[in-house]
């Protein structure tokens, strides 16, 4: 990793709110068709509701092809209070993750990786357009309402997030008591940016 743009992107990720940021080789991103299939069965409540989720995205085979064209992948993680992933705060946590991922993708494009692609955990529908009945894109009424913020779902592409965390050198334990208060439980959500 001699490209100083990578270090700039990792620092940029932390400045934008990522708790952790790491660069890994594209072949360290594990993609499994069966994980993508879980969006359909058992059916995710957001299945088919946005252009960023199945069946409206191209799926694992496309991501495998993109990874073959890339030399670097940035992995980001934000750590939050565990309770925020269970209730009303969850959409806001996921929105933050999408926004951070999008900002890193756009910065990567600006500094010389023009075709970079960011993917984030979860569906954009609940976080960005919950008050709208339908996604503009899949309804055929126009473009995405949040094109500079919302990103496509890692799940829809079959990314094994546990293996992604291992590749980045981080714990795969979703909940931990690593907060400043020993009784505070922390959790995390993750995204990735393929540098192209």
pLDDT at 84 over 60: yes
Residue 140 pLDDT grade (very low, low, confident, very high; cuts 50, 70, 90)? confident
Q: Which of 49, 69, 73 is nearest to 129 (CA)?
A: 49
pLDDT in tens, 42-69: 889 999 999 999 999 999 999 999 999 9
Statement: the pTM of the whole predicted model exceeds 0.85:
yes
Say if residues 47 and 156 touch (Cβ distance below 8 Å): no
Determine the Cα–Cα distance for residues 20 and 153; give it in Å rounded to an integer.
19
């Amino acid at each position: 990793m001699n490209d100083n743009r990578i270090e700039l992107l990792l620092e940029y990720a932390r400045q934008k709110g990522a708790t952790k940021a790491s660069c890994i080789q594209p072949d360290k991103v594990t993609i499994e068709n069966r994980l993508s299939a879980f969006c359909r069965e058992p059916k995710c409540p957001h299945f088919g509701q946005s252009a960023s989720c199945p069946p409206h995205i191209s799926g694992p085979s496309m991501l495998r092809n993109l990874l073959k064209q890339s030399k670097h992948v940035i992995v980001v993680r934000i750590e939050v209070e565990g309770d925020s992933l269970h209730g009303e705060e969850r959409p806001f946590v996921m929105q933050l993750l999408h926004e951070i991922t999008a900002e890193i993708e756009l910065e990567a494009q600006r500094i010389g990786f023009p075709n970079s692609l960011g993917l984030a955990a979860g569906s954009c529908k609940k976080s960005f357009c919950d008050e709208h009945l339908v996604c503009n894109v899949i309804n055929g009424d126009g473009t995405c309402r949040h094109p500079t913020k919302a990103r496509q779902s890692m799940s829809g592409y079959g990314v094994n997030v546990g293996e992604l965390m291992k590749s980045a050198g981080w714990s795969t334990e979703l909940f931990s008591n690593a907060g400043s208060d020993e009784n505070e439980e922390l959790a995390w959500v993750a995204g990735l940016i393929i540098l192209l």
